[in-house]
Amino acid sequence: MEPHLTEDKPVRIDQESSSTSNRDAEASTSTSMKPVKTEEAGADLLPKEMNIMTISDDKADGHNDKEGEGVTLDGTGTETGQIIVTTIGGHNGKPKQKVSYMAELVVGTGSFGIVFQAKCLETDETVAIKKVLQDKRYKNRELQTMQLHDHPNVVQLKHHFFSTTQKGEVYLNLVLEFVSETVYRVAKYYNRMNQRVPIIYVKLYAYQMCRALAYIHRVVGVCHRDIKPQNLLVNPHTHQLKICDFGSAKKLGS
């Protein structure tokens, strides 16, 4: 039987009732850039062996690792339990449609802002929303870069919207597909067990990472510039890998 991956999930934040105008953020999306298509779908299937490999969360061993833990949101205009309302569509003949997300918990933080797990109230789909402060001193290319991608080993951008806080700060919100694990967490689990990561995992992850990099370099023409285990997402059921976080990416020169 395959051992379970033991790693703490991000902590939940105390839910607070919000009476401020930040509870509902209205915005519209844009789909001006076309993603670059890759190989035929039939070529994207991963080996069948992946289906029998399962990583799941198990806290029975008593580990209490706080590294990478979620933290209370402060000053970003989003709190657990808050409903975020945005508008999608309205372009290319598509009707406008309101979509509501409930913020559930923080799964990542950094100088860029935060990433939190959210649930779409209309479809019950779980997504990741990356919330990035728009600093006029720096040019943010992440949205433009993400709109160009269409590959099974690159995290999918569903849509985006902008929101503001009471302080007048503007945030870009990237709504992404949610993938619960990372190569970092997988490697950390085996390290705790004083074991090496199984060679089949190493091969699968290395192949998919190189495949994604070849696509973004040769087809899209972008350099990621921040490849690390934390930015390599892994589906815990299929072990499909997806590169994420294009905040440092730049267009390659001709």
Catalytic residues, which ones?
A: 226
Distance between alpha carbon 199 and the CA centroid of its chain, in Å? Answer: 26
Plot region of 133 (φ>0 → left; ψ -120 to 50 → alpha; else → beta): beta
- From first CA to last CA, the distance across the chain in angstroms is 50
Task: Note whether 6 and 190 are within 8 A (CB).
Answer: no
Distance of CA 154 to the CA centre of its chain: 10
Is 98 annotated as belonging to a binding site? no
Burial of 49 (0-12, 13-18, 19+ CB in 10 A): exposed
Alpha-carbon distance 29 to 31, whole Å? Answer: 7
Q: Are strands 97-110 and 170-177 parallel, antiparallel or unpaired?
A: unpaired
Closest CA to 102 of 114, 113, 88, 116: 116
The 8-class DSSP code of residue 244 comes to -
Binding-site residues from annotation = 131
Give the residue numbers of the binding site for ATP: 131
